[in-house]
Amino acid sequence: MSALRLSFLLLYFGAVFFPASAATIPAWLKFWKGKDTHSVAKKTPSLTLGAFSGGTGESAKQALMKELNSTRQFKLTNVDPDFTVTANSVGGRVNGRLVNRSGKELLDRTYAAPGLDENLKAFADDLILAVTGKPGLATSRIVFVSDKTGTKQVYLCDSNGQDVQQVTHHSHGCVSPTLSMDGTTIAYTSYASGFPIVQVLDLGQGWERTVTDTPGSSFGASFAPDGERLAVVMSFLGNPEIFVTDLNANSAACISDSTGAPSSPAWHPDGQQIIFADDRGDGPRLYVTEVPKSNKAEAKLIRWRTGYAFCADPEFSPNADSVAFTARIGGELAVVVKGWPTGSSRVIQKSGASHPSWSPDGQYLCYSQNGTLYLHHRTTGHRRVILSGQGQITEPRWMK
Amino acid sequence: MNRLCLCFSAFLAPLFLFTQCSHFPSFPAEPVPEVVYALGSRDGFTSPLSVALKPACSALEFTGVSFALTGVHRRQLASLATDPATIKDSYLIAGYAPPGLPEDFARALSERRAQAARQYLIESGVEAVQLQTVGFGFDSAPNAPGANVVVVYHQ
């Protein structure tokens, strides 16, 4: 009997001292949650930089060592390395090779871009991809909005916040940018005509074209993984709805069925589902819809319960095991990550942090907080400012 | 004693489960009216970003993230639909949202509010082709005292 009484007491104190929150569920209650794959320690591959020949060989070696050190993907050592890198560099051009412990060649490629730095970044990314199977970040780009010129315009920077370039110079500004998977194309909402229309800019060739110039508003563009389709919010039918436009055929199909205010669509990496926020009168919640393969195909629409009453800006992680989104907690915006399709929620950053976007390797999140751009390591929780003093930085989106 | 313990546990167990919930189910919300009138061509309409436009009535002020029209909003809009001198005029209904919301949601919310105002004006007798909407979120400042507003601009 006393044991029974003790268990009631424990139950009571458990309820009082473990208040409602997804993050504070006692560990013993999490037996059904599954294993957090990101907490499993993996052995860091070791790598050595061997002979670097040619006129710019030595400077290439030093620069590559610095680049690889900053990625923290390898343990650089000369003692029994798993992989060996050699290269020949003349006039900034780089021919790089990667062999494994048994001498098998994994990579042999020539990098002939105009600058040595550019070539080494591409080489570093290829080394990371060859060894880890995940894309490197050296050549990846982050697109964001800044008001430093007085109007909101779209900018690009690299994953260290360097090499900042203003991409748009439209009258009345441009917002809501997104990059294609290969980083060659940006889609954004332009106010050049005074009304919000969605445009696409080819960064390599410089041409710009209008994708949607429909009555009402068009915004929230998001590239499909194949780069040939764009999810976008349009309101010409009355209620704003999510449409998928085919960039080659210039056709559009409505995939949502909302009476409210849908926003910020984002693609699943498989290209067959889209997650978006929709306010149906009680604050924005997250919904997931299938993208029908044909006009007559049926599509499921589900509400994805996150445990938060106000959610926006969702984005799937590159391996689709999680979704990062903006939630409102205690009256302030916060960045939250939740396992997909089920799993616990984790508050990444409070105090006004918003608009999270995953790095191509899924190890980092970038987000804006009080006009500053931050990089946040998913596993360690370490975060750092990568860009500040550039006006109010908002809406960052990382190339995938 | 056993009965007392059972009653006690019957009371505490739901309490414990509720405290472990990260959110509570909301009560059935009032159904949101669908906007059923598609927009016509935007040709001939001018944006408040391009030129200074005159509001046709006082700005409709909203609270929170609601997009439902209140009785005050309807009274403000009714004057446009009932005045014979203005019923044939064209209007651009522009929604704005305050900073502090996610940017894309602010655009959707402001557009949805503008659409709600347009729907009411159409139901009140204004021709659909005379009404265009736009949602600026907080990408530009409204020509009104508040930031959480819908402004009906005379064209």
Each residue's pLDDT tens digit, A49-107: 999 999 989 999 999 998 898 888 889 988 889 999 999 999 889 999 999 999 999 99
The pLDDT value given to residue A43: 79
Q: Note whether A22 contacts B22, CB cutoff 8 Å.
A: yes
Share of chain A above pLDDT 70, in %: 89
Q: Smallest CA–CA separation between B133 and chain A, in Å?
A: 5
- Residue given tokens 């639909």 in the structure block: B81
Contact A194 B33 (CB under 8 A): no
Residue A33's pLDDT band (cuts 50, 70, 90): very low
Which residue in chain A is spatially nearest to B31 when comparing CA positions?
Answer: A281
What is the nearest CA distance from A314 to chain B, expressed in angstroms?
Answer: 11
What is the number of residues in chain A?
400
* Least CB–CB distance from A194: residue in B39, B50, B115: B50
Of A22-31, A139-148, A365-374, B30-39, the range with the lowest mean pLDDT is A22-31
CB nearest to A333's CB, from B39, B40, B102: B102
User: Which stretches of chain B score pLDDT less than 70?
Assistant: 1-32
Task: State the pLDDT confidence band at A31, using cuts at 50, 70 and 90.
Answer: very low
| Contact between A175 and B115 using a beta-carbon 8 Å cutoff | no
Q: Name every chain A residue with its beta carbon within 8 A of the beta carbon of B138.
A: none
Shortest Cα distance, chain B CAs vs residue A74, angstroms = 37
Residues of A in contact with B26 (CB under 8 A): 282, 309
**B16 with A281: Cβ contact below 8 A:** no
Q: Taking the model in full, what pTM does it have?
A: 0.83
Q: What pLDDT score does A37 carry?
A: 44
pLDDT digits (tens, 9 = 90+) for A327-369: 999 999 999 999 999 999 999 999 999 999 999 999 999 999 9
Q: What value does the mean pLDDT of chain A take?
A: 87
d(CA A288, CA A282): 18
Least confident segment among A23-37, A213-227, B94-108: A23-37
What are the angstrom distances between the C-alpha of A17 and each of A5, A140, B21, B24? 18, 45, 14, 19
**Contacting residues of B for A220, CB less than 8 Å apart:** 104, 107-108
Whether residues A215 and B47 touch (CB distance < 8 A) is answered with: no
Count of C-beta atoms within a 10 Å radius of residue B130: 17
ipTM, two decimals, is 0.83
CA torsion sign for A159, A164, A167, A173 is positive
Does B103 contact A11 at a Cβ distance shorter than 8 Å? no
What fold is seen in the domain A141-398?
A: Neuraminidase (2.120.10)
For B7, nearest residue in chain A (alpha carbons): A8
State whether A281 and B23 contact (CB < 8 Å): no
B132 within domain boundaries: yes
- Domain carrying residue B92: 54-155
CB pair distance less than 8 Å for A259 and B34: yes
Higher pLDDT, A41 or B107: B107
The reply to whether B77 falls in a domain is yes
Which pLDDT score is estimated for A249? 85
Q: How confident is residue A20, by pLDDT bands cut at 50, 70 and 90?
A: very low
Contact A167, A153 (CB under 8 A): yes
pLDDT value, residue A198: 96
CB contacts under 8 A, A 30-69 vs B, are: none
Number of domains in chain B: 1
Residue in chain A lying closest to B117 (CA) = A238
End-to-end distance of chain B based on CA atoms, in angstroms?
79
Chain A with chain B: Cβ pairs closer than 8 A? 195
Q: Is the pLDDT of residue A221 over 70?
A: yes
Over residues A159-177, the pLDDT tens digits come to 989 899 999 999 899 999 9
Residues from chain B that touch A21, judged by Cβ atoms under 8 A, are 22
Residues of chain B contacting residue A178, judged by C-beta atoms under 8 Å apart = none
Supply the pLDDT for residue B12: 59
In a domain, B43, yes or no: no
Best to test chain A binding among B139, B143, B153 (most A CBs inside 10 Å): B139
> Which stretch of DSSP H or E encloses residue B6?
helix B2-19
> Fold for domain A46-132?
Double Stranded RNA Binding Domain (3.30.160)
* Closest listed residue to residue A376, CA positions, set A340, A341, A337, A343: A337
Instruction: Tell me whether residues A216 and B115 touch, CB distance under 8 A.
Output: yes
Residue B44 lies in a domain: no
User: Chain A partners of B103 at a C-beta cutoff of 8 Å?
Assistant: 145, 175-176, 355, 394-395
* pLDDT confidence tier of residue A25, bands split at 50, 70 and 90: very low
Q: What is the pLDDT of residue A391?
A: 92
| Tokens of residue A354, six digits | 């918003």
For position A22, what pLDDT does the model report? 38
Residue A34: is its pLDDT beyond 50? Answer: no
pLDDT, tens digit, for every residue of A313-331?
999 999 999 999 999 999 9
Question: pLDDT band for position A39 (50/70/90)?
Answer: very low
Q: Do A261 and B46 touch (CB under 8 A)?
A: no
Quick one: pLDDT at residue A141?
93
Using CA atoms, how far apart are residues A261 and B108, in angstroms rounded to an integer?
A: 5
Cβ pair A397, A359 in contact under 8 A = no
Please check the confidence at residue A295 and state whether its pLDDT lies above 90: no
Taking residues A18-39, what's their average pLDDT? 42
User: 258-287 in A: which are within 8 Å (CB) of B?
Assistant: 259-264, 277, 279-284
User: Distances in Å between the alpha carbon of B48 and those of A310, A343, B93?
Assistant: 31, 46, 10
State the CATH number of the domain containing residue B60: 3.30.1330.60
For residue A280, pLDDT over 60 is answered with yes
Q: Does A29 touch chain B (CB under 8 A)?
A: yes
Which residues of chain A form CATH 2.120.10.30? 141-398
Query: In the structure, what pLDDT confidence band is assigned to residue A294 with cuts at 50, 70 and 90?
Result: confident
**Dist. CA B70–CA A124, nearest whole Å:** 59
pLDDT value at position A150? 92
Q: What are the residues facing A231 on neighbouring strands?
A: A222, A244
Instruction: Tell whether A304 is within 8 A of chain B (Cβ).
Output: no
Contact call for A25 and B20, based on CB within 8 A: yes
**pLDDT confidence of residue B7:** 55
Residue of A nearest to B47 (CA): A194
Q: Which of A180-189, A243-252, B27-36 has the lowest mean pLDDT?
A: B27-36
Q: Chain A partners of B37 at a C-beta cutoff of 8 Å? A: 238
Question: Residue range A108-121: average pLDDT?
Answer: 90
